[in-house]
Structure 1
């Protein structure tokens, strides 16, 4: 159970496929944005399940909760794997009501309502729902970083009844995302490979690129690879991106299905995010062998060993971000050396084969509790 098809494809499809191959009847429920055929492989059953990812209207949320209830009654699952915060919250609550025996909750960041110091009725309600739903046995959590686990512990959401596992992100296929040579160093290409959300630091990168433009407009190039997710409350409007790009110094190329080629054609990967679970883009950048500039934020900091495979700057920073980009972009030797360090880090920490096997072990453990 997740939000949308493209997220499942990029982050969890490899797990679903291997589970199906090993004899599980696998159902994937999420919104179909036109890519369900990529999920309906190896015996996987796709269920088109649409709901507001960041909705706050109480009536709509009650309707969403009832949709979860109807779906779980129809499928009658033995084990449910929830991904992202709303499925985790509503799915676990419904699972408790229907006495679903095995629940796996992947908490990959705490979502829109928990970023940027947002507090209010929605967050309070979600905390209460989580406290009630999670207070049972046979609920296992996967956290991608220590900070997210600590946040739920401090809110008294998780209990001693729950099991906790730590897995660093959704992993990366080291064969597909293979280490590659750098393109020509005649012009340094700085890549931002994310959905265009304010929380990803889009505004900060725009302003940082502006500080560097007069001096380096013919030496640097900023590539924005990602869609304008305007259905998301934190979505950056397409107009903002169109106004930023000029087709030369800054290029917005939108969503790209073949991200491997996009990474190959870059020198530096940047992500000035405010908070992450464990960013897939930085894991992929490591595998390709690219140095990283990111923030010292939850989730991001785990992807960079400072001065070894990249640099970390303060969250919301502009001047420091520009300085880090300038420092690295002007040092070809550092780019090459840090790129090799990134690949070694990916091999040590982010291999998808290990991630898939760990998930299947958790499924089996939850299934054994059904007996």
Structure 2
């Protein structure tokens, strides 16, 4: 029985982004193990016939001593488990895991690069980024290593930085996909107010402060007519995390509401009329492909990853990164036209069916596993 180890930062991220792939692998006879931090949801993974290994490490730490211990943690895990294939998800597992898989001569390694992360936004060029690049160059330079990119921009960036090796196999998969049956098309409810949804972790790099300023611009004209809903947890362990106090201070009865994390995102999308994500950089944001599937118009930025989810004027609008006035204007366009919202929502659903099917994403991943195992 072939054995695949999937390494990811935290259990909830694995559940939302990769569980469907692991379930199908189990069904096809693979032994699947997942190493991640247990935040209280590991039973949801174990109940699917997957072995769960509690592995806790700092997602954004840069302390040399602590990071050396983290690297050793990866080494001990891989040596003990002896997987045939290792699937690294999120940037730190990709970097450290590739180094260790090379040292231990693991049969096959798959690196999923879903955006280059905090240290690659805002043109950060510090020591941390230089060390990350050096480690990636070393770890990627091995036989039978496959890479998944979600967009061409991240691929071109890693190519320019000299990270990709001639031994690597390159794949393009648009995000983690969406279950088109679960996230089915639904006409917006008529709740009396137009609901504008921000469905993401509350991070500065997601454009939270820009949206707050945009709500101030729109407030005098639309308070009582629209409701901004912030659906996502405050990620205190992330360097770019927005403090809870900031979100609570932003809240305003009948105008802005922060509901935190909600497990039932299907209904949260269905209650909305417009979905907004003013992010600085993404891989392919799961929130936007889910918004497409449910049939919602989108306002986002022309940032890497986000721009792939919107065809300008057809299923939404793209504005420049960190632009506040343009963001407010784009949101207002959709507030003012119900017919545009419905037309764009239909286009979003069609786009999801053509480009973001979860079934297609699962099959592509399993084909990569098979190719790595059979080499």
Q: What's the TM-score, normalizing by structure 1?
A: 0.99
Q: Secondary structure at the match of 1:329?
A: helix
Which deviates the most, 298-307 or 214-223?
214-223
RMSD: 0.7
What is aligned with 2:54?
48
What is aligned with 2:3?
none
What is aligned with 1:226?
232
What is aligned with 2:301?
295
What is aligned with 1:87?
93
Tell me how far 1:159 sits from its aligned partner. Answer: 1.5
Post-superposition CA distance 1:252-283 (Å, at most 9, x none): 00000000010010000000000000000000
Q: In 2, distance between residues paired with 1:281 and 1:329?
A: 20
Corresponding position: 1:130 with 2:140: no
Q: In 1, distance between residues paired with 2:369 and 2:330?
A: 43
What is aligned with 1:192?
198
After TM superposition, the runs of 4+ consecutive aligned structure 1 residues lying more than 2 A away are none
Q: How many residues align?
A: 369
Q: In 2, distance between residues paired with 1:208 and 1:42?
A: 43
What is aligned with 2:8?
2
Check conservation: 1:17, 1:41, Cα contact below 8 A.
no
Tell me how far 1:96 sits from its aligned partner. Answer: 0.2
Q: In 2, distance between residues paired with 1:222 and 1:56?
A: 36
Tell me how far 1:115 sits from its aligned partner. Answer: 1.1
> Structure 2 matches for 1:109-124, cutoff 5 A?
109-124=115-130
The structure 2 residue matched to 1:65, chosen from 62, 71, 75, is 71
Corresponding position: 1:12 with 2:18: yes
Structure 2, unaligned runs of 5 or more: 1-6
Corresponding position: 1:307 with 2:313: yes
What is aligned with 1:164?
170
Tell me how far 1:185 sits from its aligned partner. Answer: 6.1
Structure 1, unaligned runs of 5 or more: none
Q: In 2, distance between residues paired with 1:362 and 1:93?
A: 20
Corresponding position: 1:29 with 2:35: yes
What is aligned with 2:272?
266
What is aligned with 1:327?
333
The structure 1 residue matched to 2:223, chosen from 208, 217, 236, is 217
Check conservation: 1:85, 1:111, Cα contact below 8 A.
yes
The structure 2 residue matched to 1:39, chosen from 35, 42, 45, is 45
Q: In 1, distance between residues paired with 2:213 and 2:60?
A: 27
What is aligned with 2:288?
282
Q: In 2, distance between residues paired with 1:11 and 1:42?
A: 15
The structure 2 residue matched to 1:337, chosen from 315, 340, 343, is 343
Q: Secondary structure at the match of 1:3?
A: strand
Q: Secondary structure at the match of 1:65?
A: helix
Tell me how far 1:136 sits from its aligned partner. Answer: 1.2
Tell me how far 1:247 sits from its aligned partner. Answer: 3.1
Tell me how far 1:363 sits from its aligned partner. Answer: 0.2
